[in-house]
Structure 1
Amino acid sequence: MTGVLLFLLAVLVVFIFKWSTSTFDFFRKQGIPYRKPVPFFGTYLNVFMKLKPFNEILHDWFYEFENEKISGLFEFRRPIVLIKDPQIIKQLTVKEFDHFTDHRVVITENMDPLFGKALLNLRGQKWKDMRSTLSPAFTGSKMRQMFDFMSTVAIQTSETLKKDIQNGKENILEFKDFASKFTCDNIASCAFGIEVNSFKDPTNDFFQIAKKIMNFGNIATALKMLGYFICPTLMSGLGIKLLDKKSCDFFQIALIETMRNRERLGIVRNDMINLMLEAKKGKLVHNNNEDSSADGFATVEESHVGKSKVNRKWEELDLAAQCFIFFIAGFDPVSQTMSLMAYELACNPDIQQGLYEEILQTRNEIDNQKINYEQLQSMKYLDQVVSEVLRKWPSAAMTDRLCTKDFDLKYDNKVMKFEKDINIFMVPIWMLHRNPKYFPNPEKFDPERFNDENKHKIQDFTYLPFGAGPRNCIGSRFALMEIKTIFYYLLLNFSIEVTEKTEIPLSFDKIPFQIRPAKGIWVELKPRT
């Protein structure tokens, strides 16, 4: 009996091995250079075993076939096409968008309704309809309506910090923690109409739940991510949630109850929930006279997809899911960008001084203490600094697209055959932004790359801080406004300086698909006299 069991076990092992390696000849058959895979993991062993920081892994992938426009990787057994040429990126994300409309989705709405119904994870026509529905909510005119909420939170943050330092509280701080509290308070106000002060009360439910949801760095979450990549249906069937279920349920209930109360009581507040209610009623439409020229260099333009008309009726949960993903996208990635901006300003005091002088000049030109939306957007050097932060430290290291229709990519006398629902292509944003061919001396922090004389020299599809094509980040204006607002008030009141705890150069955590400073961003905030 034991011999039979051992034989069956051996057969099973051989079968699994053969199955896991059955696709490994995909690129060889097409004459496409590819990174040698290993059984079960493909070329992702370093990623999920956390053997290297993800920026180093991207570097290895990008330069293994340095002179090739595309090369092959394997996500376990699935072929992944690494696109390194800007013209091919443009072709696939814009011109051939109908063949690559979707992101690779790990969690569907059947597995987790709140997360799966979010714009980021929707597919096909439902994604197109939701993008068209939401697009008017993220125009410059809507950002202008929200700006007063954001400015109020930024002033409150700055004033609380000043009082704390005057009362003897430590002025050397880990900036990511500081920025997380600001983004939490800001989104609570701008999106949900909830007034919190995470600096005075860091134990408030909103901030604590936000941290719990965004805790992607621990081992348990990494293992769950691995499980969802390998076998999402099994993980869902076992009831294993990637995000903390209790926290997600809290948001879902709070959002739906708030929407119902607003409708019942006729409450109108120019925030994200109000925009979702307008969308539900079909009243959220594009203003064709919208001028987006002053929204910042990094702002992405909406495509024809986002401007088309929609007749679909949305349920409460559909709209609550958009507020939820707006919170997730605006909490951690934006606070990470803020912390790296603080790092660069501390390490480059001459740049910080130039920015402070522009802020002071703007402050002296306005009639009251509160800056308005137009005045903030008119600050050219601030936009240059933020654009360079997003160049050197893009919040998304890469983006991807799933092939939704068979497509033959012809280039350099070669043909790469994309198969529907099989192939995914990856755009390595981090490596494009740090490629000396497109950005000379890429490790240097240089806002002058984005001045009026130089910014038009930047090659198309080499600068992609908010992605590319119709599936770009819908919230680029909000994120830019958020970053600019807090640094306007922060630098007006403090200088940001290097301390003994500041790590120069930065080292990075070994977290799958994320590039995160290993020891945090420590700076000193010195009150200005």
Structure 2
Amino acid sequence: MTGILLFLLIVVLVYLFYKWSTSTYDFFRKQGIPFRKPVPLLGSNANMFIRRKPFHEIIDEWFHEFENEKVSGLFEFRRPVVLIRDPQIIKQLTVKDFDHFMDHRVLITEDIDPLFGKNLVSLSGQKWKDMRATLSPAFTGSKMRQMFDFVSTVAIQTSETLKKDIQNGSENNFEFKDFASKFTCDNIASCAFGIEVNSFKNPTNDFYRIAKKVTNFASLKVGLKFAGYLAFPGLMKALKIKLLDKESCDFFKEAIIETMRTREKLGIVRKDMINLMLEAKKGKLVHNNNNEDSSIDGFATVEESHVGQSQVTRKWDEMDLAAQCFIFFLAGFDTVAQTMSFVAYELACNPDIQQRLYEEILQTVNEIDNQKINYEQLQSMKYLDQVISETLRKWPAAPITDRLCTKDFELKYDNKAIKFEKDVNTFLIPMWMFHRSPKYFPNPEKFDPERFNDENKHKIQDFTYLPFGAGPRNCIGSRFALMEVKTIFVYLLLNFSIEVTEKTQIPLKFENLPFQMRPEKGIWVGLKPRT
């Protein structure tokens, strides 16, 4: 009798769990919106979490299943998510009706993990607006000029170290992501924290070691945590499960907060990110020129909206500002290194493009005496900007982004309507698919920098090229990222030609990982010293 009751109890619990896990799956059907059929609990993400396909192929499936529809639905576990395929709707939701879709989904709140929860990407509502306005002056062209010497110094040091290593007989065959991440680590350590680490000579330094650890989102442990945040956010919050381990948290807190305290105490001034955060703390970080022309810094550079140019009176504590340095490091370390890898790959595969770029760089450098370029000279190289812009089209650093509904909203289009519920619905912008669509970019698999020359770039339809996102919630660090990538390739190409080797995988294939794109065999190239 006891066994029968236990069996019945299990059946009832399984049934109740099934009903709960599928209780939202009629959301799109009720509104007459086509949607991807969900699997109980896993929603439309089953292929992603059981790692059956690369992330970009999953996005491709979502996009093309209802490719003639401007809007369709899918489910992120139990959450109804709207996929947008129309540039004009993206413009409407991210700009015109921005107040209804101000936030990203917050997976990790500040009470669970302050470094993640307090950074600009995770903040929401008015606090995000205030932080965006506080930080915006730190990422203007004038502030980039101040930090350019740090970036240039690291780039020159990197090129000289490589040259000596190759001359001394080191193997001339590089997994470029590994190389690039060492450069970005050294660069961010210098520009953000005022610390020189030289990860090429000392690859076991704490900055590089911990940066590799905290950006290893492919590990099973981190993957399970992310799945938990998405599927059971209340439970993860109740259990206070952090993404970062104690060593990583303590390292960044000490590196940032202790450096800020030391500089305040000793009156040390260095024109880097820590100094900008100290100015923000004192309320001294303000726009010197609200009308800066973003086009000077490259086609892909995003413009700051009215949100970033507003005045802020909020006072920030040390952890608020430390979290911004942390996300600056995290984003600048991995995503910039990824973009650098794709630039190297395309230059190796397209030697004619590489040669033209080298000639432009050489001509610019020959016009100065010490062969060390300045910020204005970097931005004057039009073909360099075309190459980087095309790389970001073909290989966007973030293949998809999201917005959370913050006020109830009804989207009307083509005699249809879909209701967004506050704090329930999210919409997705699949940048990967817009960038790879022949409708917007003919022959999209071809690497063609001429798409971005003076004659053609104005033909690109608004809100189809989104390497740094869209609207006021776009990436605040676009100028810095572009400056990093451009600078390292100026000095690399002055000293080396980048070549295909027997290890170079053509075409690239990717691992079956959720949320990221990682080439299954890495990106291998050779660096041949120029005579």
SS in 2 for 1:195: coil
Determine the structure 1 residue equivalent to 2:400: 398
Determine the structure 2 residue equivalent to 1:17: 18
Q: Give per-residue Cα distances to partners, 1:90-120, cap 9 Å, x unaligned.
A: 0000000000000011001011111100000
2:481 to 479, 482, 485: 479
1:220, distance to aligned residue in structure 2 (A): 1.7
CA distance in structure 2 between the aligned counterparts of 1:462 and 1:208, rounded to whole angstroms: 37
CA distance in structure 2 between the aligned counterparts of 1:9 and 1:149, rounded to whole angstroms: 63
1:248, distance to aligned residue in structure 2 (A): 2.0
CA distance in structure 2 between the aligned counterparts of 1:454 and 1:259, rounded to whole angstroms: 46
1:498, distance to aligned residue in structure 2 (A): 0.2
Q: Give per-residue Cα distances to partners, 1:447-486, cap 9 Å, x unaligned.
A: 0000000000000000000000000000000000000000
CA distance in structure 2 between the aligned counterparts of 1:461 and 1:245, rounded to whole angstroms: 41
CA distance in structure 2 between the aligned counterparts of 1:365 and 1:244, rounded to whole angstroms: 50
CA distance in structure 1 between the aligned counterparts of 2:332 and 2:10, rounded to whole angstroms: 48
1:461 aligned onto 2:463: yes
Q: Which runs of 5+ in 2 are unaligned?
A: none
SS in 2 for 1:38: coil
CA distance in structure 2 between the aligned counterparts of 1:244 and 1:334, rounded to whole angstroms: 24
Determine the structure 1 residue equivalent to 2:3: 2
Determine the structure 1 residue equivalent to 2:315: 313
Matches within 5 A, 1:254-293: 254-288=255-289, 289-293=291-295
Structure 1 counterpart of 2:186, one-letter code? D
Structure 2 counterpart of 1:118, one-letter code? N
1:239, distance to aligned residue in structure 2 (A): 4.3
SS in 1 for 2:193: coil
Contact 1:509 1:518 in 2 (8 A): yes
Determine the structure 1 residue equivalent to 2:62: 61
Structure 1 counterpart of 2:424, one-letter code? I
Contact 1:109 1:115 in 2 (8 A): yes
1:374 aligned onto 2:351: no
Contact 2:112 2:241 in 1 (8 A): no
Determine the structure 1 residue equivalent to 2:227: 226
CA distance in structure 2 between the aligned counterparts of 1:254 and 1:524, rounded to whole angstroms: 35
Structure 1 counterpart of 2:422, one-letter code? K
Determine the structure 2 residue equivalent to 1:176: 177
Matches within 5 A, 1:103-502: 103-288=104-289, 289-502=291-504
Contact 2:193 2:255 in 1 (8 A): no
1:356, distance to aligned residue in structure 2 (A): 0.3
1:95 aligned onto 2:96: yes
SS in 2 for 1:426: strand
Contact 1:212 1:244 in 2 (8 A): no
Contact 2:294 2:302 in 1 (8 A): no
SS in 2 for 1:512: coil
Q: Give per-residue Cα distances to partners, 1:196-218, cap 9 Å, x unaligned.
A: 10000101111001001111112
CA distance in structure 2 between the aligned counterparts of 1:7 and 1:22, rounded to whole angstroms: 22
Which shows bigger deviation, 27-36 or 291-300? Answer: 291-300
SS in 1 for 2:254: helix
Structure 2 counterpart of 1:330, one-letter code? G
Rate the CA distance shift 1:239–1:410 in 2: closer, same or farther, 3 A.
closer
Structure 1 counterpart of 2:76, one-letter code? E
Matches within 5 A, 1:497-516: 497-516=499-518
Normalising by structure 2, report the TM-score: 0.99
CA distance in structure 2 between the aligned counterparts of 1:307 and 1:121, rounded to whole angstroms: 20
CA distance in structure 1 between the aligned counterparts of 2:295 and 2:227, rounded to whole angstroms: 42
Identity of aligned residues (%): 79
CA distance in structure 2 between the aligned counterparts of 1:386 and 1:109, rounded to whole angstroms: 35
CA distance in structure 2 between the aligned counterparts of 1:516 and 1:224, rounded to whole angstroms: 20
Determine the structure 2 residue equivalent to 1:32: 33
SS in 2 for 1:148: helix
CA distance in structure 2 between the aligned counterparts of 1:31 and 1:235, rounded to whole angstroms: 34
CA distance in structure 2 between the aligned counterparts of 1:382 and 1:432, rounded to whole angstroms: 23
Structure 2 counterpart of 1:140, one-letter code? G
Structure 1 counterpart of 2:195, one-letter code? I
1:243, distance to aligned residue in structure 2 (A): 2.5
CA distance in structure 1 between the aligned counterparts of 2:108 and 2:69, rounded to whole angstroms: 33
Question: RMSD of aligned C-alpha atoms?
Answer: 0.8
CA distance in structure 1 between the aligned counterparts of 2:384 and 2:353, rounded to whole angstroms: 10
Contact 1:174 1:521 in 2 (8 A): yes
Determine the structure 2 residue equivalent to 1:41: 42
1:290, distance to aligned residue in structure 2 (A): 3.0
SS in 1 for 2:403: strand
1:269, distance to aligned residue in structure 2 (A): 0.2
1:368, distance to aligned residue in structure 2 (A): 1.5
1:424, distance to aligned residue in structure 2 (A): 0.1
Q: Give per-residue Cα distances to partners, 1:338-369, cap 9 Å, x unaligned.
A: 00100000000000000000010011011222
1:236, distance to aligned residue in structure 2 (A): 3.7
Structure 1 counterpart of 2:146, one-letter code? Q
Structure 1 counterpart of 2:321, one-letter code? L
CA distance in structure 1 between the aligned counterparts of 2:250 and 2:355, rounded to whole angstroms: 46
Normalising by structure 1, report the TM-score: 0.99
CA distance in structure 2 between the aligned counterparts of 1:30 and 1:153, rounded to whole angstroms: 55
CA distance in structure 1 between the aligned counterparts of 2:420 and 2:241, rounded to whole angstroms: 32
Structure 2 counterpart of 1:527, one-letter code? P
Q: Give per-residue Cα distances to partners, 1:384-417, cap 9 Å, x unaligned.
A: 0000000000000101000000001000000010
SS in 1 for 2:298: coil
**Structure 1 segments (4+ residues) deviating >6 Å:** none
CA distance in structure 1 between the aligned counterparts of 2:463 and 2:129, rounded to whole angstroms: 23
Structure 2 counterpart of 1:56, one-letter code? E
Matches within 5 A, 1:67-82: 67-82=68-83
SS in 2 for 1:459: coil
1:527 aligned onto 2:529: yes
Q: Which runs of 5+ in 1 are unaligned?
A: none
Q: Give per-residue Cα distances to partners, 1:152-181, cap 9 Å, x unaligned.
A: 000000000000000000110100000000
1:29, distance to aligned residue in structure 2 (A): 0.8
Which shows bigger deviation, 157-166 or 3-12? Answer: 3-12
SS in 2 for 1:119: coil
Contact 2:78 2:231 in 1 (8 A): no
